[in-house]
Structure 1
């Protein structure tokens, strides 16, 4: 029989979930700022590890709360406790390799443990689901153990241990995706779509705040306007086709394949999409700080970030069984190929180039052949 904490009918994202998301946007903002001020291979490596952990803590809750009654007092209290802990995790993002890194790890662990506990109590009335959760908890324990170890080691060693934890998370997710899960497609897709919206909005906040710091000169207005155009184009490339396509395909998955699909399209597949926005925002912040000088590494971040978003969205659509028209892949290749040239351009011409390509993809893609393949039921 269903758990007493389980929702009786399909639901939209609850207010407590949206509150939870806002704290994670703070974490994303912190990661963006750290990357913007250290656009080196070392800075990229640090950002990737921290982003993965933040993302993994968030995406676990999309599974944990998917069938939860978010109006139930117990569910709300547990989610709010995780939100409070996630705030301190976000707060200490810049301190991961310093003494504050221990607090980051402890806060992360609390969020993860609450998420796992939620999954256990929700699956308690369904033997197959409970078995899937039991195996997931067991395999996840290795990554969590690595995070515990990171509390007691210093500096760069801590970052290396956290990278190992991230790798163990991937292995655990691959194993868990083979099990039989209970997931509501509409709610699952909505949670990820809302996060995409929030993160895209965060990139505009970064651009606007940096332009204001520069006293909002005419060149800053131009660059900020171009950033808005690019963000609008990225929004369109996701929501005009990918969001509904992926949701419909998930709704058509048999239960034995549902976990693997949700993992591939959302938990794994949205990493380059969200990561791309972070890289784009970091490049914008760094580029705006240097005025009309050549972008340098900021150009790589901007180009790679947009390419990750456009290409990553295409990949999740392919995993959903979709045949995608040529405009998206042409746009992806053009953006990727332009990266070496972006480093030598000032922000305005570089963003004009990116904006033209992204908007061309947004306009042309619906005219291409986009067909959802039939799903096995």
Structure 2
């Protein structure tokens, strides 16, 4: 802990010139509770892979991710790691744990508990912003916008406690919509306090790693709970290949380029880049569940329709989002040649989508192999494209 037990929030941007900002031990500990929350979300989806089950999975995923993003954004700008910061983080972790506990029936009998936990987590974030607003005058215009926006969103959730289903969920959706649009139009306010160019990509990358870990855990779980045979082992290996391909495609593309555009007041690119990570996390966790289900049915002649759509739909979503993330990092002039990488991802996404539509008679092992090949070929094309660019740049 810092030498002073209590410290007021301070603007962290630019204070460590010449040194890359890294995630603190407190932030890494905070992430652990989201490992649990995502595992519970994946378990929920695994029990119900119908259309309603998928929609429910997405509906509960968004508020949990929103809590993580809000806390990460605050830490990026104002983190002090003093006693007060640690205590507030502890309370936030308790609220996220309550969200995870209420996930299983979050759209049913536990909806009130889920809403109360979310209100608690957002309220703590608002309190942190209020404290930072008092101590950091330069950040007040931007923080005023966040305090009012997030406060209004939390107010919708609070109001939902007093109305029945389905109107309760309509208020949830309204509250989340307000939260998500609050940063829009703040480009002129954010130019002076742009998130740290090394810390923010690292934090988003760490969350992506957490979700990838859930995908790997799902593959292992699928193998453990089924009698070992050639089909299940090959299907598991293909599932690991898909996860490894996603890791490769993501971490070879991610950098702080969108933050550079934010410094010029172009916040739309930055917001697109950040929110695309929400869709990627949703897709990665769902991919793990999809592979797990395919392993369970690996000995069947034909993969059930709902499992085929879950796997192919999740992989398609991941590839589309990876294409979008790559595009947002290719906005700057020097990265224009890299946009071809997005085309490869889009092509692979189209191929996997065709498998979802036309792969009615495909066996689990054959379908998973084709999906894995599409992902691995995309990685190979990325490597080939990057190698050509290096050769051209050296000439």
TM-score by structure 1 length?
0.88
Whether 1:263 and 2:274 are equivalent positions in the alignment is no
CA distance in 2, matches of 1:149, 1:216: 51
Match of 2:119 among 99, 109, 114: 109
- Tell me, in whole angstroms, the C-alpha distance in 2 between the residues paired with 1:341 and 1:152: 46
Determine if the alignment matches structure 1 residue 89 to structure 2 residue 89: no
Please state if 1:99 is matched with 2:109.
yes
Distance 2:8 2:195 in 1: 14
Cα shift at 1:17: 1.1
Name the residue aligned to 2:4.
none
Give how far 1:132 is off: 0.8
Comparing 76-85 and 337-346, the one that deviates more: 337-346
Give the match for residue 308 of structure 1: 317
What does residue 259 of structure 2 align with? 250
Q: Give the Cα separation in 2 of the matches to 1:287 and 1:83.
A: 34
2:195 to 183, 203, 207: 183
* CA–CA separation in structure 1 for the residues paired with 2:321 and 2:54: 18
> What is the CA-CA distance between 1:252 and the residue it aligns to?
5.6
Question: Greater CA deviation, 83-92 or 144-153?
Answer: 144-153
- CA 1:42 to 1:89, structure 2 compared with 1: closer, same or farther past 3 Å? same
Distance 1:64 1:212 in 2: 40
After TM superposition, the structure 1 = structure 2 runs for residues 1-377 of structure 1, keeping only pairs within 5 Å, are 4-7=9-12, 8-9=15-16, 11-176=21-186, 179-180=189-190, 181-240=193-252, 242-244=253-255, 247-251=256-260, 253-254=262-263, 256-257=265-266, 259-266=267-274, 268-293=275-300, 294-320=303-329, 321=331, 322-323=335-336, 324-325=339-340, 326-368=343-385
Partner Cα distance (2:187, 2:306) in 1:
37
Gaps of 5+ in 1: 372-377
Deviation at 1:261, TM superposition (A): 3.9
How many Å apart are 1:279 and its aligned residue? 2.0
User: In the alignment, is the contact (CA less than 8 A) between 1:70 and 1:76 conserved in 2?
Assistant: no
Mapped contact 1:296–1:344 kept (Cα < 8 A): no
Q: 1:288 to 1:177 in 2, by over 3 A?
A: farther
Aligned residues: 365
Q: 1:128 to 1:68 in 2, by over 3 A?
A: closer
Contact 2:133 / 2:139 at 8 angstroms: preserved in 1? Answer: yes
Larger radius of gyration between Structure 1 and Structure 2: 2
Task: In structure 2, list runs of 5 or more residues that go unmatched.
Answer: 1-6, 390-395
What is the CA-CA distance between 1:273 and the residue it aligns to? Answer: 1.0
Shift in Å at residue 5 of structure 1?
4.4
Structure 1 residues 120 and 264: alpha-carbon distance in aligned structure 2, compared to 1, 3 A threshold: farther
Separation in 1, partners of 2:171, 2:219: 33
Inter-partner Cα distance in structure 1 for 2:49 and 2:9: 49
Cα distance per residue 1:210-234 (max 9 Å; x no partner): 2212234432222211111110011
What SS does the aligned partner of 2:208 have? helix
**Conserved 8 A contact 1:182-1:255:** no
TM-score normalized by the length of structure 2: 0.85
How far is the alpha carbon of 1:109 from its aligned partner? 1.3
d(CA) in 2 for partners of 1:126 and 1:260?
25
Q: What is the RMSD of the two structures over their aligned residues, measured on CA atoms?
A: 2.4
Whether contact under 8 Å (2:39, 2:214) holds in the other structure is yes
